[in-house]
Structure formats: structure tokens, C-alpha cells
Structure 1
Amino acid sequence: MIDNAVADVFGYNALQLGLPQCKLLAQNRIPLRQTVAEAGDADVRCDFRQIPFAAHSIDLIVMPHVIEFHDDPHQILREVERVLIPEGMLVVSGFNPISIWGLRQRVAGRRVQFPWNGIYLSALRLKDWLQLLGFEVDRATFGCYAPPFERVGWLRRWQFMEAVGSRWWAFAGGVYLLCAVKRVHGMRLILPGWKHARPTRKGLSIVSQKEGELHEQ
């Protein structure tokens, strides 16, 4: 899903925030592609709340499963909005609380291991947050309808749910993907309609003979 979303995005700079072990920009043709993480093997290591890139310098950002595992998701989104150029694209994925995966998390409680230790946000809620920051958000795409089994054999047995789920309950996929474009409305300077009155030219006026005689007296 991410490969399809980033394949036709052009520009000069692209970032992947989080999961540096997964090369999610491989299908993109932007020349400078970098991975950013808070730890691990990445091109840039930093706090996601303070991304060390200039404002309006990044054309594409892919953010896989970052928001639900951070204490300050709003600040991360503000930083993403800051570094993206106008009309830049954000591709963000998250775990869906309205799904079998979300049910598994609620039943099991918040455990230490990934991915049950996060705070899952619905696609609608994340869309509202992005719109408040000036993004235009496309409709969410969902996937992973099979239960979150750890064994490959059980996943294969339940593989039929992928096709059935995408057709009958598309909103209930375990994972969703949102694509958003940063919109910056152009400003138009409206000047006051001041008109500078031209000074009246001095000139000769016609005076009647009677007026002239009274003036001489």
C-alpha cells in the first residue's frame, strides 16, 4: 500500500520517520531519501518532536506507526507540517482500534511488547488532526483483516478474510493508511482605494465689465 502511495511522488527530498529496518521509500524516485529514527540504524537520529530539517524543505514524508507510540503526537504532526513544502505529501499508517487488532489490544491490556503497547487512534480522529493543521486528507485505505496470529500456518488458514474484509467491512482493517497533502492558501494583498486628488491649476477667469469696475472701487 505504501509502495503504491509513494511511487508517483516527485521532488528532491524524502524522509521516512520510524521503522528504519523497513525500506518504505524503495519505490519512490526522489533522489535524496533518508530514514529518521529516535534510535537504531538510521541516516538521522533525533527526537521526532524536533526534526532537524529546515522549514519547507521536504517533499515527501512517510510515517509508519509513529503517532500511536509517542507521548506527544500533536507536536510530531506540527513538526511534520513545518518541514514539508507547500503541496508536500504525508503518508502515515496506524493501527485501527475498530478492528480485530484493536479488540485484541483491549482484551490483552497494554503490554510491553509491540504492537500492543500503543494508544491506537482511529483514522477519522487522525484525519481531523491533520485537517486542523491545513492538510487535505484522502480517504483512508485499510488492510490486515485476518486475526493477528503469530504463527504463519494460522495466518494462511485465515487468509480468506483479506478479500472478504476489504469487500464487506472495509473500515475494520487492522491497519490503515492515510495520504495527506499540505495546502497553503495564497495571500492577496488588498490595498486601500486611495485616490490622490490633483491640485487645481491656477488660471485666468472671465470677469464682466461691471464686476471689474466694482473691484477697482
Structure 2
Amino acid sequence: MHLQNSSKQTLDTQTLNNQANTQLWQTWQLFWDSHLGQAVLRAEAALLSPILEAQRGYHVLSVGACPAKPLLASCTIKHQMEWRPSFATADHTSCLITDPAHLPLPNDSMDLVLLHHSLELLARPHALLKEAARVTLPKGEILILGFNPYSLWGLARILPKSLQAKPLQVLKSARFISQNKLLDWFEFLDLKQEERQRIFHRPPCNRINILQHLEKPDQRLDKKNWPLAGIYLLRIKKRIGSPLRPELKKKSPSWLAAQPVVSPTRTSLPTQTRLKTEK
């Protein structure tokens, strides 16, 4: 009876999480469809393009706040899976409908995992990062895109809703995670940061004329990797021998003896046997 109640509570919790994730997903699509959201996606796609062109492997998993097709367009790995919170939000057959804190994938199965603004969107970012590390192959890569809290984007979350355009109001529901905090998580999960890039210095403004006017100066600033940029990209490597799961000791075949067999010598025989032999 206790097991039935606990399993029922687990199912109820997963259902509530899926409903909350679906609502968040649908709310964030208003942002990505806006002028500012489209400008962010174009900048991120340009940043990811040379990285994805150099990738080799068989499987890619994307857990993001919007469809990843524009971001993965230049990826050389053909099998691409995308997370979705519900069947209603799935738009192709390679969508993975699940709680992102419990990915139904084997250990060490993905060559590349892309976390596109999902750590700041979902309720359990540390659990998501742990799952991403678990399913990534040793020496595989995890790419993390996030909003920098120490930028104009972080300040925009403080402004009252009356001073923000409707697509930008979703930023208040996001939990911006600093890069230093992520470094602490990487150490716990035995992940190693290989590279860090920062882009998008334009303010979080939804006016298309301002975004277009500042696009070229923004691209020049992107080359300087300024720490107060609005978006960061972290390239993470999974170390070999990660402690996310215990290594199973190899058992010797049953037909092998546990101890090496040594032929008995004359002095190793029991005393009585040795006396009979001498007679």
C-alpha cells in the first residue's frame, strides 16, 4: 500500500512538472517570436555554426526554450533529438516528451548535448545539468547558452512590467544563473569548461529599428568577448571516469580458479603421506 501511494505521488509530481513546463514553453514562444527573440536566435546561430560544423558523432540532444532547428542547421551530426514538455508542443517525430530532470536515455549515449536557455527556464536546473552530464559520452561536449545576469538583461528584470513590452515580461520568470555558479556545478559533476564566449551587447529592446541600427556595432563588440555582454556560451567537456555512476568491477569467468593452481611438491604433502611415500 505504501509503495502504491509513493508511486502515485511520483506520477502526480511528474504530471504537475509537465504542466508547468508546458505553460512556460508556450509563454516563452512569445519572446522568441518577437523582434528581439529573432535577433537573439540569429546571433546564437552564427556563434554556434563553426562549432557545430566541427562536431563528429551520431547523436545530438537539445533541451531548450524554443525549437532548435535554426540553431542546429549547420550541425554535421544527423540524428538530432529535441526535448518537448508535452505532445501538444511536439512538431516532429524526433521530439523527446519527458521531464528533463529524468531523461529516459542510457548512460553515455549522446555525442553532444545543447542546453539552450533551459537551465534558467526550468525549475530544477542542477538536476537537468546532472542528467545532461550522465547521458553525454566521455569526452563528449555540452554546450550551454544562457543570459548573463550581470548585463543589461539582468537589469531589465528589475524594471516594472509597465515599462516593458509584453514579449519581454517573461524575463521576470527566468532564473539567470551566473557563470561562476555554473563553474561550481561543473566541479561537482566532474565537467571541465573548455571555452567561454560572450555575445549580444544590444539592450533588451523589442523595437526593430533600434536592433537593426545597433547590429553592426554589436558584431564588432562580440569579437572582444566583453564580460558584460547579454549572452554567454560555455563549451563543456565530460571527463573520462566521471563519478556520476559507479564503475562495475569486472567479474572473472566462473571456469577460472580464484587462486592460481600450484602443483604439490614433496615438502608440501602432509606428514603421513610423505612418510608412506618414503617407505
Aligned: 1:53 with 2:100:
no
Provide the rounded CA distance (Å) in 2 between the counterparts of 1:163 and 1:21.
24
TM-score after normalising by structure 1: 0.78
Aligned: 1:35 with 2:82:
yes
Residue in structure 1 matching 2:190, options 117, 134, 138: 134
Residues 18, 38 of structure 1: 8 Å contact kept: no
Deviation of residue 164 (structure 1)?
5.6
Residue in 2 aligned with 1:95? 147
Provide the rounded CA distance (Å) in 1 between the counterparts of 2:207 and 2:173.
20
Unaligned 5+ segments in structure 1 are 190-197, 203-217
Aligned: 1:119 with 2:175:
yes
Cα deviation code 1:49-108 (max 9, x no counterpart): 111111111111111000011221111111111111111110010000111111111234
Aligned: 1:149 with 2:195:
no
Residue in 1 aligned with 2:120? 68
Alignment of 1:197-212 (within 5 A): none
Letter in 1 for 2:63: L
Deviation of residue 158 (structure 1)?
2.8
Name which one, 1 or 2, has greater alpha-carbon Rg: 1
Provide the rounded CA distance (Å) in 2 between the counterparts of 1:36 and 1:28.
17
Greater alpha carbon shift after TM alignment, 145-154 vs 167-176: 167-176
Secondary structure of the 1:162 match is helix
Provide the rounded CA distance (Å) in 2 between the counterparts of 1:163 and 1:176.
14
Letter in 2 for 1:27: S
Secondary structure of the 2:129 match is helix
TM-score after normalising by structure 2: 0.62
Identical positions, percent: 27
Residues 62, 68 of structure 2: 8 Å contact kept: no
Residues 19, 37 of structure 1: 8 Å contact kept: no
Unaligned 5+ segments in structure 2 are 1-46, 250-262, 268-279
Provide the rounded CA distance (Å) in 1 between the counterparts of 2:52 and 2:113.
9
Deviation of residue 163 (structure 1)?
4.4
Residue in 1 aligned with 2:135? 83
Greater alpha carbon shift after TM alignment, 78-87 vs 113-122: 113-122
- 4+ residue segments displaced more than 3 Å: 163-169, 198-202
Secondary structure of the 1:114 match is helix
Residues 65, 121 of structure 2: 8 Å contact kept: no
Cα deviation code 1:10-60 (max 9, x no counterpart): 111111112442312221122311111213125111110111111111111
